[in-house]
Structure 1
Amino acid sequence: MVYQGQQANPQAQEFTRREARAHRILDAAAALILRWGYNKTTLDDIARQAGVAKATMYLHWKTREELFAALIRREKVVVAEDIKQRVSADPEGTTLSGLLKHSALALLQSPLLKAVIMRDMEVLGKLAHREQSNAAHLEKMEGFKLYFEFLREHGLVRTDLSLTKQIYMFSAIFTGFFLVAPLMSDEYALSDEEMAELMAETGKRILEPAHAASTAELQKISSIFLQYLDRSVEIAREQFQKEVEA
């Protein structure tokens, strides 16, 4: 008699094998792109680093661009989950200032997405521009629009500024801190924690109202934001699973 769990389903075993292989290929791509940059990293290099035949990679991704897009997508899932854990543990995590702080700390742990934010052409080449201008970026901005509309409706951000201006300012604060960091001398360099705290303080002073949000308001916005984040992660995971199933 075979007890439940004693012998894994062959189909499940095959999927696990394919998924592990896909992650191994992406791990190799990540290591090489950070070492040599996108433009200098070839599929032959990745296959050699991952210990697979080049033809094997085509089972998942047909082009180098598709492979790197999958790499960025996987990294976004990791960062989104990190942000979720951080904001869930902070009662004020989903306020504008809290989101700035925790998003910055999560992104600082991801060299690839940090390169995307900074449009680091040496690391990501033309892929950096693509990630900032494609449909995924527009979808993200639409998500922020809904988030800001909810905050405005509940008086959790200033309403004397237009929605368009607020989203622009939020993006400028977030991106600006990342862009200026490499330009600062050692005398003015900040730790990751200091930068994230200062970013949050800037957002709070510029975009949030003077009165503090109530506990009930914070709980409501946290629930809605985490639902949005969960859905975004789910969509990215589903796309990755389709590639793994190849």
Structure 2
Amino acid sequence: MPENRGVRAERVLDAAAELIVRWGYDKTTIEDIARAAGVAKGTIYLHWKTREDLFIALLRRERVALMTDVQQRVAGDPAGATLRSVIEKIAVAYVRRPLLKAVLLRDMEVIGKLSRQRELQRTPKLQRGLARYVADLRDLKLVRTDLDLHAQLAVLSAVFLGFFGTAAVMPAEYALGEEQMAALSAETVARMLDRGTALDDGERTAVADITDRFLAGTLAEERAKYEQMSGLE
């Protein structure tokens, strides 16, 4: 039977992800990807018109996978759907997805010339979603409001990026595991945003509702973008 279009697209993207992480975007050709995926070069162009389009679709698929992972891990966290849990799970998810990590850190050996593409110059949906998420928590005074939103987001970004930067330069004898670094990153953000008084039961429920809405909304947006880019709508 003919291979399902969606299954074939996934196989091509799997091959592209492996090659780009190994060789970098600039050194990875459509011919390389077709060979690794076991398809004809022309077959790839049935899905995406250019190599850039293929890579953008790959990034969007990676973001769908990342947000799916985060949503599932937050749902399974005994502490509940909290800000701390969200930050920790996002940090861990990035570590486990080298392609997205390379984009986040602007690793030119991996993304190369693609860094000039408009898609990589836009603010990712996740970052915009995080900004809305913190703003929603602020509106209900579930986090501190003595600092303005811009300042809080700047600190959040600095802590998050610092987590990856520190992991890369820390001497081996002082290096911490990725899970521990993610937990420390989340702890720092949570303390920075803590309003200084305990939440009551109703407020904890409100935080969980806002958290669930943020995760579900971001995932839905990323999935729609990926399906549109890959002709899977």
Q: Which residue of 2 aligns with 1:161?
A: 147
Q: Which residue of 2 aligns with 1:133?
A: 121
Q: Which residue of 1 aligns with 2:58?
A: 71
Q: Is the 1:115–1:128 contact (alpha carbons within 8 Å) kept by the matching residues of 2?
A: no
Structure 1: runs of 5+ lacking an equivalent = 1-12
From 20, 24, 33, the equivalent of 1:37 is 24
Structure 2: runs of 5+ lacking an equivalent = none
Q: Is the 1:177–1:199 contact (alpha carbons within 8 Å) kept by the matching residues of 2?
A: yes
For 2:126 and 2:220, how far apart are their aligned partners in 1? Answer: 14
Q: Which residue of 2 aligns with 1:58?
A: 45
For 1:132 and 1:177, how far apart are their aligned partners in 2? Answer: 21
For 1:99 and 1:152, how far apart are their aligned partners in 2? Answer: 16
1:202 matched to 2:188? The reply is yes
For 2:221 and 2:31, how far apart are their aligned partners in 1? Answer: 30
**Cα distance change on mapping 1:20 and 1:118 into 2, 3 Å:** same
For 2:232 and 2:149, how far apart are their aligned partners in 1? Answer: 41
Q: Is the 1:92–1:218 contact (alpha carbons within 8 Å) kept by the matching residues of 2?
A: no
Q: Which residue of 1 aligns with 2:71?
A: 84
From 100, 106, 117, the equivalent of 2:93 is 106
Q: Comparing 196-205 with 210-219, which one deviates more in the overlay?
A: 210-219
User: Aligned residue pairs: how many?
Assistant: 231
Q: Comparing 84-93 with 62-71, which one deviates more in the overlay?
A: 84-93
For 2:80 and 2:89, how far apart are their aligned partners in 1? Answer: 7
From 161, 164, 168, the equivalent of 1:182 is 168
Structure 1 residue 78: Cα displacement: 0.6
SS in 2 for 1:125: helix
Structure 1 residue 93: Cα displacement: 4.9
For 1:203 and 1:235, how far apart are their aligned partners in 2? Answer: 25
**Cα distance change on mapping 1:129 and 1:155 into 2, 3 Å:** farther
Two-structure CA RMSD over aligned residues (Å):
2.2
